[in-house]
């Protein structure tokens, strides 16, 4: 540069979509990196930091990141610089964000050269903007610099081509940067203490869940390399760079060591947020990076994830000590989709391996998945979602499922309607999580929405694991459909039950159901409840036929024992039918009295629910039964479909059409506003209420402890009698639903 101009790099506050992805709070890395490059070339540089004085707030229209706009504009108006470089963030919400940017540009004092620079060094969700629209809105701007600008900005400053007034801005394309010669980001150009506080405020803001913890606060973003050798169909990384420019380039570790040592001593740095698109491409180099972090006692986050197949067991062990949570991208569990559609070429087995290692090391794992790609078969979507559930159930990994969004200039955009791509570019972010798009040859959008909603629902239901102990197989009823069947009529030994409670509690089970037979007949019931409370079970539920609850002294003791919830079984609206179904003439009177006693004593009527098993005999009277329950003050009603266990027989099953009609009418207008839950109901039986029925797949997180027999996972136990058939082909819930119940005598 011929002279030493005064250059201001402006990092304006950001107007963002509520659903933005990636990490705009780390934008200051780009500003400080650019500042370092310009300063190296003799410029006098200032960074006007509009982020650090603020936080992340809900602004009604979207999220506002950074300082209040009026205060920022006032600071901007006071800038005195010959060149003003305004950071054009990839994350700005179109319309609202661009209007804001227009005001920023307009507020720059007259006489300065104004440049817009994207300064994008990486990130998979870079949004290529409509340059014509930008040009028409950003008057007074000399040039728009695309992508990474460390080369192009100094060039344009040293060779200014006079710009005619009112002419359209110049478009400057990116060039790859030599990372061997790149100076470290100049963090001294901003108030680092203010930036640390800003990050703490943002990462703990209620407006949005942060991708990594707020602590330790003294954290700086870092790019150890740029580029990516893969060419995933959805990715915008390295856009604008071709061939050699896309090659993965890295800052030499010796240079990184110098940078980190300096920030550690000058800024008391505690953690780095590594923003590379692919930080572990080279195993030996990644080992070297971990060595460096360990030597300097720095923690690390990799919010863009690591390639699972390149991670070693030893690296995961080391990462468990260095990072709060790991992220890997699987995208698809199908090798064909990986290789032929995605271009990611990642072996799915590697993700399972890493999930197993993380689980052993107690390191949380997020797994990114993508369903709905062009040319992807439904069976492949199903495989991906099944694997997501398996990773969640077996290893506690968190599957983060998204839909492919055809951002402009990606390969994916070639499979979408031009108008759709244009529309999406205005605000693509809600589509990633919530709105599958119509892509050529992709599974239908409604299929994808329902499948992903089911996965999310099932995971929510399985978040807390439950153990169900059968306390006894004795019972004072003899129900015609009893699942206990011909199991030996005896109590479990109390000491064995409490041992089982201890074992499950140690394994992280938080919820307990005490079931039977009839558990209120067991002499050790209160001892078991007491032990469960001591152990700290989060919720203790008793499942009972309710007959002993007719005795007030017993109910008083039960309520005082610390049981959190009681599920009482009542199958009929009147004495005779209840007697027929339970084999006990007194059960109607006692059970209804028991429910009334219980409701009179518990603090909250929601602690009580009634279970009804639906059979041919009581189906016509469910409305009356619901009315009776509502009259008793019951608020929760569990309708259970008959399952082929114990004494239940196929000829007790209601006709399917009648069952469906009855369920749908109860769900549409529940008697007395009862909150109905469906148990053992294939979701397809209740169109419109599938998600309600799918909540039952939470049983995958329940273990059942039998008397004198090995424990079993409840879902697996029930699935032994369920089968998918031709009706299940193409069903969006089939990855989680084991199908229809089959009674031995049914065809």
Q: Which residues bind ligand SF4 (CB under 6 A)?
A: 475, 477-479, 482, 484, 516-518, 545, 569, 582, 682-684, 724, 727-728, 731, 733-734, 737, 739-740
* Cβ at position 474, least distance to ligand SF4 in Å: 9
Do 208 and 321 touch, CB atoms closer than 8 A?
Answer: no
* Cβ at position 380, least distance to ligand SF4 in Å: 17
Comparison of 433 and 724: residue with beta carbon closer to ligand SF4:
724
* Cβ at position 496, least distance to ligand SF4 in Å: 20
Comparison of 425 and 648: residue with beta carbon closer to ligand SF4:
648
Backbone dihedral region of 396: left (phi > 0), alpha (psi from -120 to 50 degrees) or beta? left
* Cβ at position 548, least distance to ligand SF4 in Å: 11
* Cβ at position 299, least distance to ligand SF4 in Å: 44
* Cβ at position 337, least distance to ligand SF4 in Å: 22
Would you give the DSSP letter of residue 165?
T
* Cβ at position 283, least distance to ligand SF4 in Å: 42
Comparison of 190 and 684: residue with beta carbon closer to ligand SF4:
684
Task: Please report which helix (H) or strand (E) contains residue 572, including its range.
Answer: none
Largest CA distance in the chain: 103
* Cβ at position 104, least distance to ligand SF4 in Å: 52
* Cβ at position 560, least distance to ligand SF4 in Å: 24
Do 399 and 431 touch, CB atoms closer than 8 A?
Answer: no
Q: Measuring CA to CA, how many Å separate 3 from each of 33, 130, 231, 514?
A: 21, 34, 42, 82
Do 81 and 43 touch, CB atoms closer than 8 A?
Answer: no
Do 445 and 732 touch, CB atoms closer than 8 A?
Answer: no
Comparison of 198 and 697: residue with beta carbon closer to ligand SF4:
697
Place of tokens 């980001």: 185
Comparison of 101 and 684: residue with beta carbon closer to ligand SF4:
684
At 713 the three-state DSSP class reads strand
Q: Measuring CA to CA, how many Å separate 116 from each of 77, 121, 163, 285?
A: 17, 15, 14, 35
* Residue closest to 645 by CA, chosen among 571, 720, 567: 720
Comparison of 432 and 741: residue with beta carbon closer to ligand SF4:
741
ω into 517 cis (within 30 of 0): yes
Comparison of 77 and 485: residue with beta carbon closer to ligand SF4:
485
Comparison of 92 and 479: residue with beta carbon closer to ligand SF4:
479
Question: Rounded CA gap, 606 and 103, in Å?
Answer: 54
Beta strands in 457-538 (DSSP E): 466-470, 511-515
Instruction: Provide CB contacts within 8 A for 583, sequence distance 6+.
Output: 477, 478, 479, 480
Comparison of 214 and 728: residue with beta carbon closer to ligand SF4:
728
* Cβ at position 722, least distance to ligand SF4 in Å: 8
* Residue closest to 414 by CA, chosen among 647, 675, 586, 231: 231
Comparison of 599 and 737: residue with beta carbon closer to ligand SF4:
737
Would you give the DSSP letter of residue 246?
G
Question: Rounded CA gap, 533 and 182, in Å?
Answer: 60
Instruction: Provide CB contacts within 8 A for 87, sequence distance 6+.
Output: 9, 10, 11, 12, 27, 30, 31, 117, 118, 119
Do 147 and 239 touch, CB atoms closer than 8 A?
Answer: yes
Comparison of 88 and 568: residue with beta carbon closer to ligand SF4:
568
Comparison of 105 and 581: residue with beta carbon closer to ligand SF4:
581
Comparison of 467 and 471: residue with beta carbon closer to ligand SF4:
471
* Cβ at position 671, least distance to ligand SF4 in Å: 23
Would strands 143-145 and 539-544 be described as parallel, antiparallel, or unpaired? Answer: unpaired
- Helical residues (DSSP H) of 519-671, grouped into ranges: 525-535, 552-561, 575-582, 587-601, 622-632, 656-668
* Cβ at position 53, least distance to ligand SF4 in Å: 53
* Cβ at position 485, least distance to ligand SF4 in Å: 9
Do 10 and 84 touch, CB atoms closer than 8 A?
Answer: yes
* Cβ at position 644, least distance to ligand SF4 in Å: 14
At 275 the three-state DSSP class reads coil
* Cβ at position 480, least distance to ligand SF4 in Å: 9
Comparison of 345 and 727: residue with beta carbon closer to ligand SF4:
727
Task: Please report which helix (H) or strand (E) contains residue 738, including its range.
Answer: none
Question: Rounded CA gap, 140 and 84, in Å?
Answer: 11
Beta strands in 412-496 (DSSP E): 466-470
Comparison of 402 and 582: residue with beta carbon closer to ligand SF4:
582
* Residue closest to 11 by CA, chosen among 127, 91, 129: 91
Question: Rounded CA gap, 532 and 540, in Å?
Answer: 8
* Cβ at position 664, least distance to ligand SF4 in Å: 15
Task: Please report which helix (H) or strand (E) contains residue 64, including its range.
Answer: strand 63-66
Comparison of 230 and 689: residue with beta carbon closer to ligand SF4:
689
Question: Rounded CA gap, 320 and 316, in Å?
Answer: 6
* Cβ at position 498, least distance to ligand SF4 in Å: 22
Instruction: Provide CB contacts within 8 A for 138, sequence distance 6+.
Output: 101, 102, 105, 116, 144, 169
Task: Please report which helix (H) or strand (E) contains residue 411, including its range.
Answer: none
Instruction: Provide CB contacts within 8 A for 179, sequence distance 6+.
Output: 225, 226, 249, 250, 251, 252
Comparison of 431 and 734: residue with beta carbon closer to ligand SF4:
734
């Amino acid at each position: 540069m011929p002279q030493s101009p005064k250059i201001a790099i402006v990092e304006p506050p950001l107007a963002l979509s509520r659903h933005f992805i990636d990490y705009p709070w780390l934008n200051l890395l780009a500003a400080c990196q650019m500042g370092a490059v310009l300063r190296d070339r003799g410029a006098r540089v200032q960074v006007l930091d509009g982020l650090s004085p603020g936080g992340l707030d809900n602004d009604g229209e979207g999220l506002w990141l950074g300082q209040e706009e009026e205060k920022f504009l006032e600071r901007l108006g006071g800038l005195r610089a010959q060149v003003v470089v305004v950071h054009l963030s990839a994350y700005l919400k179109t319309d609202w964000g661009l209007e804001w940017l227009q005001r920023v540009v307009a507020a720059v004092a007259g006489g300065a050269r104004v440049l817009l620079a994207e300064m994008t060094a990486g990130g998979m969700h870079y949004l290529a903007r409509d340059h014509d629209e930008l040009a028409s809105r950003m008057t007074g701007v000399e040039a728009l610099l695309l992508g990474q600008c460390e080369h192009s900005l100094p060039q344009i400053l040293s060779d200014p081509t006079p710009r005619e007034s009112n002419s359209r801005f110049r478009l400057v394309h990116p060039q790859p940067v030599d990372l061997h010669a790149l100076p470290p980001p100049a963090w001294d150009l901003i108030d680092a203490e203010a930036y640390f506080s800003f990050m703490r405020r943002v990462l703990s803001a209620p407006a949005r869940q942060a991708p990594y913890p707020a602590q330790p606060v003294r954290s700086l973003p870092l790019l150890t390399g740029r580029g990516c050798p893969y060419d995933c169909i959805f990715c915008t990384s390295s856009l604008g760079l071709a061939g050699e420019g896309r090659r993965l380039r890295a800052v030499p570790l010796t240079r990184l060591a110098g940078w980190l040592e300096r920030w550690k001593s000058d800024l008391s740095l505690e953690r780095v947020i590594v923003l590379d698109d692919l930080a572990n491409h080279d195993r030996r180099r990644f080992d070297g990076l971990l060595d460096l972090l360990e030597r300097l006692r720095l923690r690390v986050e990799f919010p863009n994830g690591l390639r699972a197949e390149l991670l070693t067991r030893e690296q995961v062990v080391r990462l468990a000590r260095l990072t709060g949570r790991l992220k890997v991208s699987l995208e698809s569990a199908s090798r064909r989709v990986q290789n032929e559609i995605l271009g990611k070429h990642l072996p799915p087995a590697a993700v399972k391996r890493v999930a197993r290692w993380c689980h052993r090391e107690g390191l949380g794992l997020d797994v990114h998945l993508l369903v709905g790609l062009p040319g992807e078969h439904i069976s492949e979507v199903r495989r991906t979602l099944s694997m997501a559930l398996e990773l969640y159930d077996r290893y506690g990994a968190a599957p983060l499922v998204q839909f492919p969004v055809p951002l402009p200039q990606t390969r994916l955009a070639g499979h979408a309607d031009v108008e759709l791509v244009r529309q999406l570019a205005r605000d693509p972010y809600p589509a990633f999580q919530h709105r599958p798009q119509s892509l050529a040859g992709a599974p239908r959008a409604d299929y994808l929405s329902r499948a992903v909603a089911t996965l999310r629902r099932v995971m929510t239901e399985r978040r807390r694991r439950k153990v169900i102990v059968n306390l006894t197989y004795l019972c004072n009823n003899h129900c015609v459909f009893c699942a206990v069947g011909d199991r030996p009529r005896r109590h479990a030994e109390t000491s064995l039950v409490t041992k089982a409670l201890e074992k499950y509690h140690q394994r992280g089970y938080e919820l307990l159901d005490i079931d039977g037979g009839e558990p209120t007949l067991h002499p050790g019931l209160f001892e078991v409840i007491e032990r469960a409370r001591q152990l700290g079970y989060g919720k203790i539920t008793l499942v009972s036929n309710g007959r002993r609850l007719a005795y007030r002294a017993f109910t008083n003791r039960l309520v005082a024992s610390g049981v959190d919830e009681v599920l009482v079984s009542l199958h009929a609206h009147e004495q005779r039918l209840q007697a027929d179904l339970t084999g006990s003439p007194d059960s109607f009177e006692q059970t209804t009295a028991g429910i009334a006693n219980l409701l009179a004593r518990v603090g909250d009527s929601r602690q009580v629910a009634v279970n009804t098993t639906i059979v041919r005999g009581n189906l016509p009277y469910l409305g009356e039964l619901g009315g009776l329950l509502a009259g008793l003050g019951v608020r929760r009603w569990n309708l259970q479909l008959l399952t082929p266990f114990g004494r239940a027989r196929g000829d007790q099953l209601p006709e399917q059409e009648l069952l469906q009609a009855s369920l749908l009418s109860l769900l549409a207008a529940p008697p007395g506003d009862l909150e109905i839950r469906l148990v053992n109901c294939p979701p397809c039986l209740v169109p419109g209420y599938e998600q309600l029925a799918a909540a039952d797949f939470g049983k995958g997180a329940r273990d059942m402890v039998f008397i004198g027999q090995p424990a079993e996972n409840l879902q697996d136990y029930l699935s032994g009698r369920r089968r998918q058939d031709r009706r299940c082909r193409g069903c969006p819930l089939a990855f989680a639903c084991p199908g229809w119940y089959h009674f031995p005598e049914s065809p």
